[in-house]
Amino acid sequence: MAIYNPKSLKAEEFINHEEILKTLAYADENKNNDKLIDEILEKARPQKTKTGYVCAGLSHREASVLLACENPEKIKKMFEVAEEIKQAFYGNRIVLFAPLYLSNYCVNGCLYCPYHAKNKHIGRKKLTQEEVKAEVIALQDMGHKRLAIEAGEDPVNNPIEYILECIKTIYSVHHKNGDIRRVNVNIAATTVENYRKLKEAGIGTYILFQETYHKNSYETLHPTGPKHDYAYHTEAMDRAMEGGIDDVGLGVLFGLDKYRYEFAGLLMHAEHLEAVHGVGPHTISVPRVKHADDIDPNVFDNSISDEMFTKIAACIRLAVPYTGMIISTRETEAVRAKMLQVGISQVSGASRTSVGGYTEEERPHDTEQFDVSDQRTLDEVVRWLMETGHIPSFCTACYREGRTGDRFMSLCKSGQIQNCCTPNALMTLTEYLVDYASEETRKIGYRLIEDELKKIPKENVRKIAAEHIEAIKNSNKRDFRF
């Protein structure tokens, strides 16, 4: 029997089945222990320091107790503390991005994804480099600066050389005032050598969803193809970090297995990265199983309510306070609005989950990976964020200034990152407003920028940011950053 060891490089030791079962039992035993719950919540709360805030975070066991708790008053307190943490480290900024699907050719047999190899009626498509350029221009014309590229696993159609060529193409496109400044990569688990190549290509975050941490369920849900190998998939982040990628993004697909099991496994994975590499995940995503071509989400009997989904997000924020949290357009506007209040710091906008979808006037459905619930334009999403008291941010400065991995986390944990983030967010928002926004969005945005500039505590930072914002408004000068 595997022994639990967060410092181990073996999947079944750092995501240990027996430890998860013990954690769930401990959570059940203590879910009504108000004294312990209050202590855990107090531990999670951000503490003020001379330079900003610090947060202790929570272990997978402590966070699992909170998730199991059914007391409405305590749950309300969880949401309040989650919002406190979000404000302490991310303020009211929300980073925007879009996925870019390069190819839906795939050799795996994943039961929850329409790209699975046995699906013979879905249209298979792979973008040429000219088509990649066209997609990038369409995304730049919306105002996007940050992409997450996606592709099925197929060594013939989507080899690493193809992915690298696409990244090079994306970074090469300079259209009007538009540039894609950060390319995050969401592709199948691969080798240290290939991760090194991705790092050399200048990627931002390497993202890989575990789908499920329950090994038996994982192997059942991935019956064929290279993705069937649970250990190889689960150990991918260690290989990525060995290859020099210091920003990695985790996530599970909620609904495939029992959510409490997945939650504990997800936090154990974060603890493992911290224990071995000295830095936890840069981001955690919280997708749910959704309808897609030949995929019925009702087949999976582990679906979770919107209320529980929100609670999961809040408890993740309490456990890993410094980690970015992502919610996609899989979710409705209403669900996304709720999630913004409990710790989400990144959202996608105007996403199309089909290969070549951005150049089509009408949203194509024949090659979609999943149905998009929030189908608003980027302008509508930006305006919505501002109207709900958030600063939409297109900032990519940390990645390009080398503030990644442990350097980013040390700045975040000391509170120093705030000196960069708000002014950078305001400057990139100004770029969006000048170059892409509707008149109504622009008016709301300029008022918000004026108000937010006044809140920047350091006078010299405030002065420089204001000067750069005026330069953006009155010229084609772009890409100022702290």
* Residue scoring higher pLDDT (384 or 121): 384
Q: What confidence tens digit (pLDDT) does each residue in 436-465 have?
A: 999 999 999 999 999 999 999 889 999 999
Confidence of residue 49 (pLDDT cuts 50, 70, 90): confident
Confidence of residue 301 (pLDDT cuts 50, 70, 90): low
Query: Is the four-CA dihedral 368, 369, 374, 377 of positive or negative sign?
Result: negative
Question: What pLDDT was estimated at residue 403?
Answer: 72
Dist. CA 408–CA 349, nearest whole Å: 25
Given a cut of 70, whether residue 418 has pLDDT beyond it is: no
Over residues 58-62, the mean pLDDT reads: 98
Question: What pLDDT was estimated at residue 401?
Answer: 75
Over residues 391-413, the mean pLDDT reads: 77
Given a cut of 80, whether residue 273 has pLDDT beyond it is: yes
* Residue scoring higher pLDDT (116 or 346): 346
Confidence of residue 291 (pLDDT cuts 50, 70, 90): low
Q: Is 163 exposed, middle or buried (0-12, 13-18, 19+ CB in 10 A)?
A: buried
Between 121-125, 196-200, 315-319, the lowest mean confidence (pLDDT) is in: 121-125
Two tokens, residue 96: 């925007």
Partners of 148 in beta bridges: 99, 184
Dist. CA 393–CA 371, nearest whole Å: 25
Question: What pLDDT was estimated at residue 314?
Answer: 98
Q: Which fold has domain 89-375?
A: TIM Barrel (3.20.20)
Query: 288 near 43, Cβ under 8 Å?
Result: no
Between 45-49, 197-201, 273-277, 301-305, the lowest mean confidence (pLDDT) is in: 301-305
Question: What pLDDT was estimated at residue 72?
Answer: 98
Which residues, 6 or more positions from 234, have their beta carbon under 8 angstroms from its beta carbon? 11, 15, 210, 213, 269
Query: 324 near 250, Cβ under 8 Å?
Result: no
What φ, ψ does residue 247 adopt, rounded to 5°? -115, 115
- Amino acid found at 457: P
Given a cut of 70, whether residue 414 has pLDDT beyond it is: no
Dist. CA 475–CA 467, nearest whole Å: 12
Q: What confidence tens digit (pLDDT) does each residue in 216-257 have?
A: 999 999 999 999 999 999 999 999 999 999 999 999 999 999
Question: What pLDDT was estimated at residue 120?
Answer: 84
Q: What confidence tens digit (pLDDT) does each residue in 375-401 have?
A: 899 999 999 999 999 999 999 977 677
Question: What pLDDT was estimated at residue 407?
Answer: 66
DSSP 369-407: SS--S----HHHHHHHHHHTT-EEE---HHHHTT--HHH
Question: What pLDDT was estimated at residue 370?
Answer: 54
Which residues, 6 or more positions from 419, have their beta carbon under 8 angstroms from its beta carbon? 458, 461, 482
Question: What pLDDT was estimated at residue 123?
Answer: 87
Dist. CA 392–CA 92, nearest whole Å: 9
Over residues 144-165, the mean pLDDT reads: 98
Dist. CA 452–CA 440, nearest whole Å: 19
* Residue scoring higher pLDDT (99 or 400): 99
Domain ranges, ordered by start, for the chain:
11-87, 89-375, 415-474
- For all residues of the chain together, what is the average pLDDT? 93
Given a cut of 70, whether residue 11 has pLDDT beyond it is: yes
Question: What pLDDT was estimated at residue 119?
Answer: 87
Over residues 88-93, the mean pLDDT reads: 91
% of the chain at pLDDT higher than 70: 92
